[in-house]
Amino acid sequence: MKFLLVLIAFSATCFAQKKISGSITDNITKQPVPFVSIGVIGKSLGTLSNEAGVFEFTVFENQKNDSIKIAAIGYKPLIFSVYDYLKEPHKTIIMESLPVILDEVTVKSKKVKYKTLGTTKYTKNNCTGFVDASGNWKGSEAAILVKNKDNCLFESFQFFIIQNKYDDSLLFRLNFYQRVSPPANTPKWLGEDWVGPTILKKAIIFKVGIKQGEFILPLKQYNIQTSKDFFISLECLMDEMEITKFCYSGSIDVQSYFKVKSFSKWHRTPGKNGKPGGGGGDFNVKVSYVK
Q: Is the pLDDT of residue 162 over 90?
A: yes
Q: How far apart are CA 31 and CA 141, in angstroms?
A: 27
Average pLDDT, the chain: 87
What's the pLDDT score for residue 107?
A: 53
The region of weakest confidence among 12-21, 108-117, 242-251 is 12-21
Q: What is the full DSSP assignment across 142-162? A: EEEEE---S-EEEEEEEEEEE
What's the pLDDT score for residue 174?
A: 98
- Does the fold of domain 112-290 match that of domain 2-95? no
* CATH hierarchy code of domain 2-95: 2.60.40.1120
The amino acid occupying position 56 is: E
* CATH hierarchy code of domain 112-290: 2.60.120
The region of weakest confidence among 134-138, 200-204, 223-227 is 134-138
Q: Is the pLDDT of residue 16 over 90?
A: no
Q: Is the pLDDT of residue 11 over 60?
A: no
The region of weakest confidence among 61-75, 241-255, 263-277 is 263-277
Domain boundaries defined on the chain: 2-95, 112-290
What's the pLDDT score for residue 278?
A: 64
Q: Is the pLDDT of residue 12 over 50?
A: no
Q: Is the pLDDT of residue 34 over 90?
A: yes
